[in-house]
Amino acid sequence: MPQNVRVRFAPSPTGPLHIGGVRTAFYNYLFAKKHQGQFILRIEDTDQNRLVPQSESYIQEALTWLGITPDESPQKGGEMGPYRQSERKSLYEKYALALVKAGKAYYAFDTPEELEAMRAKFKAIGQAAPQYNAISRMQMKNSLTLSQEEVSQRLKQGQPYVIRMLIDPQITIKAKDTIRGWVQVKGVNLDDKVLLKADGMATYHLANVVDDHFMQITHVIRGEEWLPSLAYHILLYEYFQWEKPEFVHLPLLLNANGKGKLSKRNTQQHDFPILPLDWQDAHTQQTLPGFKQAGYLKEALLNFIALLGWHPSHNQELFTCDELIANFSLSRISKSGACFDIDKAKWFNQ
């Protein structure tokens, strides 16, 4: 490993931490410890509308129970903090504006009604996303279509705007994922994503890339559901001329029969936990069960989740955490989804 390994677990505090998130955190932790690196917890709370207040403390408690201890976090602090995105707003704004200045992003003043009308037009001709792109952007109200004076005036008057990234439909973005190899995406299939929202807060894409850069993250290890974001992130690194981290997208967790993504509904039907700790829903007052309260030992749960997508070079199944650290490697993570078989978890627990 050439440089000092720095990895992060970056959950959004929008509800309880699902077992898939625990696995992501644990793989990051194992990788960091294996290479004497740092494991960072970053709270990605840019979407204030989806914030569920008790989820940040739930995440911290779950990681504490399992001993997946961050070296840097909102609670613990660290040299590259703050570690909550809501406390880093001005940084994102600065970099969004730098992209506008460099001609890689632009102001867009479209109202929700105008956006809706544009989407409806696309729908009428049978076109789904992407919609704010090279075809439509020149018919919308943005700094590419309005005169400079009008843009300055709108900004001076405090008219609401967003900043969008400008994507050239001619380009092909090549991104390397450690597990899948090279992935190619054509610019024409991408949307001019919003980077800075009307409330001045960054979106996930901008905040994630800016933070990974300034927190000196060397490996981005996250769930496969983030693979569609990769092309946007690669482009942002290129726009900023920043060195890219290595990207590792972990396989999906599937239901025990291998059919479909592991779902809350499925687990509720079969009455087994998929959360580390009990979670009480503030609205319904319903309690979703956690592995801890269901009587699972943390050692059993960690052993179980370690093998959901990763396998050692020999057929050992029972591991202590130290043995997992010693054996873990990114090259032994599989591409195909991992079946979540609760009987296996019970077996480890026994």
Q: Quote the least distance from Cβ 208 to ligand GLU, whole Å.
A: 5
Handedness of CA 93, 97, 102, 107 (dihedral sign): positive
Distance between CA atoms of 125 and 76, rounded to whole angstroms?
53
Q: Quote the least distance from Cβ 318 to ligand GLU, whole Å.
A: 30
- If binding is defined by CB under 6 A, does position 10 make contact with ligand GLU? yes
Q: Which residue from 88, 137, 141, 222 is in contact with ligand GLU, where contact means CB under 6 A?
A: 222
Decide: residue 212, CB within 10 A, 0-12 exposed, 13-18 middle, 19+ buried. buried
Closer CB to ligand GLU, residue 37 or residue 161?
37
Q: Quote the least distance from Cβ 212 to ligand GLU, whole Å.
A: 8
Do the Cβ atoms of 333 and 251 come closer than 8 Å?
A: yes
Q: Looking at 5-13, 92-100, 155-163, 280-288, which segment touches ligand GLU (CB under 6 A)?
A: 5-13
- If binding is defined by CB under 6 A, does position 56 make contact with ligand GLU? no
- Catalytic (active site) residue 141: no
Distance between CA atoms of 201 and 263, rounded to whole angstroms?
31
**Given 264, 335, 344, 346, the catalytic residue:** 264
- 261 forms beta bridges with 254
Closest CA to 215 of 334, 39, 76, 345: 39
Distance between CA atoms of 221 and 337, rounded to whole angstroms?
16
Q: Looking at 4-12, 111-119, 274-282, 319-327, which segment touches ligand GLU (CB under 6 A)?
A: 4-12
Closer CB to ligand GLU, residue 208 or residue 255?
208
Quick one: three-class SS letters along 52-108?
CCCHHHHHHHHHHHHCCCCCEECCCECCCCCCEHHHCHHHHHHHHHHHHHCCCEEEE
Closest CA to 167 of 229, 108, 105: 105
Q: Looking at 7-15, 115-123, 162-170, 234-242, which segment touches ligand GLU (CB under 6 A)?
A: 7-15
Number of other CB atoms surrounding residue 287 within 10 Å:
11
Interface positions, 11-30, toward ligand GLU (CB under 6 A): 11-12
The set of residues, in sequence order, having a beta carbon less than 8 Å from that of 283 and lying 6+ positions away, is: none
Q: Quote the least distance from Cβ 135 to ligand GLU, whole Å.
A: 29
- If binding is defined by CB under 6 A, does position 44 make contact with ligand GLU? yes
Q: Which residue from 122, 226, 237, 242 is in contact with ligand GLU, where contact means CB under 6 A?
A: 226
Do the Cβ atoms of 230 and 272 come closer than 8 Å?
A: no
Q: Quote the least distance from Cβ 337 to ligand GLU, whole Å.
A: 17
DSSP 18: P
Closer CB to ligand GLU, residue 122 or residue 226?
226
- Record the tokens describing residue 350, joined without a space: 């026994």
**CA torsion 143→158→232→186, rounded to 10°?**
-30
Q: Looking at 8-16, 56-64, 154-162, 297-305, which segment touches ligand GLU (CB under 6 A)?
A: 8-16
Q: Quote the least distance from Cβ 258 to ligand GLU, whole Å.
A: 24
Q: Looking at 6-14, 91-99, 155-163, 269-277, which segment touches ligand GLU (CB under 6 A)?
A: 6-14
Catalytic residues: 264
Binding interface with ligand GLU (CB under 6 A): 10-12, 44, 208, 222, 226
